[in-house]
């Protein structure tokens, strides 16, 4: 696994002769989404053809109350999940439909950013069916935030990653 910087990932994509799959991995709340947003900003600044979405935490004061998808190009959002109790979330079916539409729209772009592939995707649920179908129809560079505990299953499901960049927890 490599250290991560947005410029290294952008350079990797710019010099790749084939569509590559890059995982940004780490545990919960270590900065994977922040890293994807930095990569997006650098890609856009380099005028690279990029699309995708991230998953943002929703807070009420300091309490995490849910998650929301955000299209990185338009800032359009869609609620994904609401916290039911300290151990669980209710996921919204409309969010998966929204994400599938975004994946279809991304097929016209050279680079796809997708956030928070985790336990659901490791079990072939959540974003995974639409992601696999979209990538099969239109191979392109993929930069995905992947939870540590789901990395092997997701890599197996999409044919592996060409590069894995780990974000370590802040000490």
Give domain status of residue 171, yes or no. Answer: no
The answer to whether residues 9 and 22 touch, using CB atoms and an 8 Å cutoff, is: yes
Rounded Cα distance, 163 and 73, in Å: 24
* Residue-level pLDDT, tens digit, the chain, 171 residues: 444 688 889 999 999 999 999 999 988 888 999 999 999 999 999 999 999 999 999 999 999 999 999 999 999 999 999 999 877 899 999 999 999 999 999 999 999 999 999 999 999 999 999 999 999 999 999 999 999 999 999 999 999 999 999 987 655
Q: What domain count does the chain have? A: 1
What are the CA-CA distances from residue 42 to residues 6, 35, 49 (Å)?
7, 11, 11
Instruction: Identify the domain containing residue 33 by its residue range.
Output: 6-166
Name the pTM for this structure.
0.92
Question: How many Cβ atoms are within 10 Å of 170's Cβ, its own excluded?
Answer: 7
18 in Cβ contact with 76 (< 8 Å): no
* Domain contains 1: no
Give residues with Cβ within 8 angstroms of 21, minimum separation 6.
141, 142, 144, 158, 159, 160, 161, 162, 163
Q: Is residue 19 part of a domain?
A: yes
Angle between helices 93-106 and 128-137 (to 10 degrees): 10
Domain harbouring 138, CATH code: 3.40.50.300
């Amino acid at each position: 696994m490599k250290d991560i910087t947005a410029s290294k990932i952008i350079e990797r994509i710019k010099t790749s002769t084939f569509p590559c799959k890059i995982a940004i991995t780490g545990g919960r709340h270590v900065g994977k989404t922040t890293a994807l947003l930095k990569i997006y900003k650098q890609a856009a600044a380099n005028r690279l053809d990029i699309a995708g979405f991230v998953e943002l935490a929703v807070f009420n004061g300091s309490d995490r109350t849910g998650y929301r998808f955000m299209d990185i190009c338009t800032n359009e959002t869609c609620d994904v999940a609401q916290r039911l109790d300290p151990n669980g979330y209710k996921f919204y079916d409309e969010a998966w439909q929204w994400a599938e539409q975004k994946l279809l729209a991304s097929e016209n772009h050279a680079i796809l950013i997708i956030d928070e592939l985790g336990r659901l995707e490791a079990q072939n649920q959540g974003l995974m069916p639409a992601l696999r179908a979209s990538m099969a129809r239109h191979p392109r560079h993929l930069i995905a935030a992947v939870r540590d505990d789901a990395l092997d299953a997701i890599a197996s499901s999409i044919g592996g990653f060409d590069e894995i960049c780990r974000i370590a927890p802040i000490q």
